[in-house]
Structure formats: C-alpha cells, structure tokens
Amino acid sequence: MTTNETLIKVESLEKAFGEIQVLKGITTDIKKGEVVVVIGPSGSGKSTFLRTLNLLEEPTGGKIYFEGTDITDPQVNINLHRQKMGMVFQQFNLFPHMTVLKNMTIGPIKLQGISKKEAEKRALALLERVGLADRADAYPSQLSGGQKQRVAIVRALCMQPEVMLFDEPTSALDPEMVGEVLDVMKSLANEGMTMVVVTHEMGFAREVADRVIFIDEGIIMEENTPDELFSNPKSSRLQDFLGKVI
Amino acid sequence: MKEWFQEISDEFVLNFIKDNRWEWIVEGLKNTLIITFFATLIGIAIGIIIATVRSTYDKNYETMKKHKSLGFYVLSFFNFVCKLYLTVIRGTPVVVQLLIMYFIILSFSNDEATIAIITFGINSGAYVAEIFRSGVMSIDKGQFEAGRSLGFNYIQTMIFIVVPQMFKIVLPTLCNEFIVLLKETSIAGYVGIVDLTKAGDLIRGRTFSAFMPLIAVAIIYLVLVMLFTWLVGKLERRLRNSDH
C-alpha cells in the first residue's frame, strides 16, 4: 500500500529532558499508506519519538514536516495538524465521564463543526466495524481493556486522520485481549491507513509492517523490511535485542 | 416533671414569643443566608480565576520558559499576584480581615452586609482556588494528552475534559468549604450585622437567659448544614453514574 508520497518527514530530530538526551538525531520519511513499526529496548526513546511526531513532546532540535508543513515552527497552529494525526495510548485514556459515543463524537462535533447526528452516524459505523456497536452508550469503566483500546482506536479514527500513531497499544492489556486489538490494527493497515506503531509485538511487526525501525540509545540503529530485519539483523545491538524478545 | 415542663415553656415564651423576639432570629437567619450565598458566588468566581492562572502556570511553565514570550511574563506576573493573594488571605484570621475591611478599606460604606459579603467572598476564594487547583492537578496527565492529541487547544481540553472530571473529584471538599463558610459568617456580629448568631446573642442580652436562644441558634446551624450535606450527597450520586 506504500506510495511515494511522503506524509511525515523527520529531520535530525532531537529531544532532551533536562540533561538527558533521549533522541539524538533521528531522520526518516514516512510515506502515505506505509505501516512503520518501531521497536527497541525500553528507555531507547521509541515512545518519545512517537510522541514528538504530534508534538506531545516538544523536540529540542530538528524538524518535522507533516504534509509539507514544518510543524515544529512555533507559528504553526499545531491543533489543526493534530486533528489529522490520530493517537492511541498504552493506557487508552478514554474520557471516563463520557459514554463511548460521546468519547468518539466530541472531537468531530467541536473541532470539525459537523452536526451531532452526522458525527454519531460516523461513530456508529466505526463501532460496528470493531464489533462494539452495542456498547455505544456504555461508560469506559464498563468495558474490558481490549474493548477500551478498540474504542480508543475508533475515537481517533472518528476524526478521519491521515495517520495513526500507536504508542504500545497492547502493553497494558491482558494477554487474551491483545489479539482483538491487533486484529483491528491489521484491518486498518490493510485498508491503506498510514500507521506508526511502537510495539513489542514482533509477530505483528513481521506480519503487517512495511518497514521496521530499530531505535536504541536515541538513534535509528537499523531499519529494514520486517523479513530482512528479523532474519538478518546486522548490528549486534539488534541481534541482542531480538535474542531477548523472540 | 410538670414544673420542669412549665419552666421550659416559660423560657420559650420569654425568649421567642414575648415582644416578637422570634423575628430577630428570622432576620438573623435571613442575613446569614444572604451573606453565605453571595460570598459563595464570589468565592467560586475568584476560585476559578485563581485556579486557572495557577494551574496554567504550573502545567506550561516548563515549555513556556524556553520561549520566553510575552505571554510567559504576563502569566508569571499574574501567578505571582495570585500567590500573594493566597498567602495573605490564608495567613490571616477572617475576623481580622473583616475588621480591616470595615474600619479601613471600605470604611466609606455604611452597608455592613455588602462588606461582609465581599470579605467572606474574598476569603473563601482563596480556599476554593486551592481546592480547584488540586482537583485539576489530580486528573491523570493522559486525559490531557488525549484531549490535545484530538486537536483540542489548552482551553478546550480544560473545559470539555479536565474540568468536568475535576468537579466530581472536588465536590466533597468544596461542600466542606461552604459548610465552613456558613459557620464562619457567625463573626459578622463583630461589625454590627445582625446575623443568626448575633440575633441569638441579642435575645440573650435582653432576657438574661442564655440556654434557649443559643441552643436554638445552634440547632438552626446544624439543620442548615445537614440539609446542605444531604443535597450535595444527592448531587454526588447523580454525578457518579459514569463510574460503576
């Protein structure tokens, strides 16, 4: 599904928290329709990398171009760009005081100015797709972890984003619920959604990714197609890492 | 037994019926309720403003420090003013604040009730502000990030996502603050206002009988607080319908 059109262009991206340099210059292009899986040991900076893409973490150096616009420029209204970058968190972060339907529609209604009716139609169609149409009026506390994460995914999709960012979406789930979330992500990938996924699910990376990026110590140590990367790791760091996780 | 009952009954007549003394209690109760009500409104308004400034400052200090834009200095200035206000108001007794207002700052005014409303409002605002701020700070950072990542700006995220959750958390504490406020207005007599407490005391001064008027006043306060607690309890249960 990968096209030649670059959606996100990352140029020597750096991020420091005080004295600690977490990202030490990351450069990569994410094409439209591409599924990029980011792997790496904990503390390697892979989550920080993902969170800088929509500026939840403000980079301390380098540039990020989204659809050709440098979104690290303080003059740019980042809120408009974030509407096109859906984000899914490890801890779901559903709004506990709203029903599933309200969680999904508040963004489109308040930010895209569409009617409540239209937003609910859009939301219900998405819920149908992930098999949760009957839970539209439930509150997040009434859902299982897997259901919560599926709702979090369709909440982001309800904004009709250009790219979806996944920050360890299955790490907080009980093992038996991982599958249902990965299935949703797979079908999303098959439909041509551009995705950047930080995950420890190597099976998912192997099966779905167009490209796998191995981040360690704040730089891209190695990147390749999943087949090449997993069967023929070049750096010793990646060999070590794969030895531990597979 | 009969004698005892007769005595009680005489006391009651003396303190409340004779010369229509019950009217003082009614008048005092009215003043207490008016002062508490309007002071509450002022307190909430001040509380929201101060808490907004303080938590905006706390949440954005790190990022804004880097850019050092004009907004940073404006926000820092307001944050300083708010902190000063909190320190002074929380650091001095409310009686002293009332006397200062009455005899110094608002000495040109003859409207004691308004002076009391302003004093108690300003006083309560300091406590309400800290209640709101601690509520905002207690909301999980992820909620904030989820709002921002959908594309809401800082203020929209606050209004749609953080504040509704915060309100539910702080409701019991806020309720407590208003119970304290209701009872604190009993010092209004210091500046010549006939509030509930003063009314009871005036009756005592006339009848030289302390038991009846003071116990009556105490019971009225108690009933008011119980009524208010019951109402807030109902509201709390209504708000809780989202967490099962």
The pLDDT, as a whole number, for residue B110 is 87
**CB-CB neighbors (< 8 A) of B140 in chain A:** 91, 93
For B74-110, the pLDDT digits (tens) are 889 999 999 999 999 999 999 999 999 999 999 898 8
Crossing angle between the packed helical segments A116-129 and A100-112, to the nearest 10 degrees: 130
Residue B244 has pLDDT above 60, yes or no: no
Please choose, from the candidates A190, A184, A207, A171, the residue with its C-alpha nearest in 3D space to the C-alpha of residue A46.
A171
What value does the mean pLDDT take over residues B116-131? Answer: 96
Residue A60 has pLDDT above 80, yes or no: yes
Q: Best residue in A97, A111, A112, A153 to probe B by mutation, most B CBs within 10 Å?
A: A97
**CB-CB neighbors (< 8 A) of B165 in chain A:** 95-97
CB atoms within 10 A of CB B74: 10
The pLDDT, as a whole number, for residue A1 is 60
Q: Which residue of A has its CA nearest to B152?
A: A79
Q: Looking up tokens 């116990």, which residue turns up? A: B215
Rounded Cα gap, residues B212 and A208, in angstroms:
82
Residue B196 has pLDDT above 80, yes or no: yes
Which of the two residues, A126 and B243, has the higher pLDDT score?
A: A126
Enter the DSSP assignment of A115. Answer: -
**CB-CB neighbors (< 8 A) of B148 in chain A:** 56, 79, 82
State whether A107 and B243 contact (CB < 8 Å): no
Q: Which residue of B has its CA nearest to A141?
A: B243
Residue B17 has pLDDT above 90, yes or no: no
Q: Is A144 on the interface with B (CB under 8 A)?
A: no
Rounded Cα gap, residues A152 and A104, in angstroms:
8
State whether A95 and B63 contact (CB < 8 Å): no
Rounded Cα gap, residues B55 and A180, in angstroms:
39
What value does the mean pLDDT take over residues A27-50? Answer: 94
**CB-CB neighbors (< 8 A) of B63 in chain A:** 58
Residue A240 has pLDDT above 80, yes or no: yes
What value does the mean pLDDT take over residues A25-45? Answer: 94
Domain B6-242 has CATH 3.30.200.20: no
**Which residue of A56, A111, A142 is in closest CB contact with B151?**
A111
For A177-203, the pLDDT digits (tens) are 999 999 999 999 999 999 999 999 999
State whether A141 and B244 contact (CB < 8 Å): yes
For A122-173, the pLDDT digits (tens) are 999 999 999 999 999 999 999 999 999 999 999 999 999 999 999 999 999 9
Min CA distance, B124 vs chain A (Å)? Answer: 28
The pLDDT, as a whole number, for residue A234 is 92
**In chain B, domain spans:** 6-242
Q: What is the pTM of this model?
A: 0.84
- Share of residues in chain A with pLDDT > 90 (%): 92
What value does the mean pLDDT take over residues B119-125? Answer: 96
Q: Looking up tokens 């390697």, which residue turns up? A: A44
Interface confidence, given as ipTM, is 0.92
CB atoms within 10 A of CB A178: 19
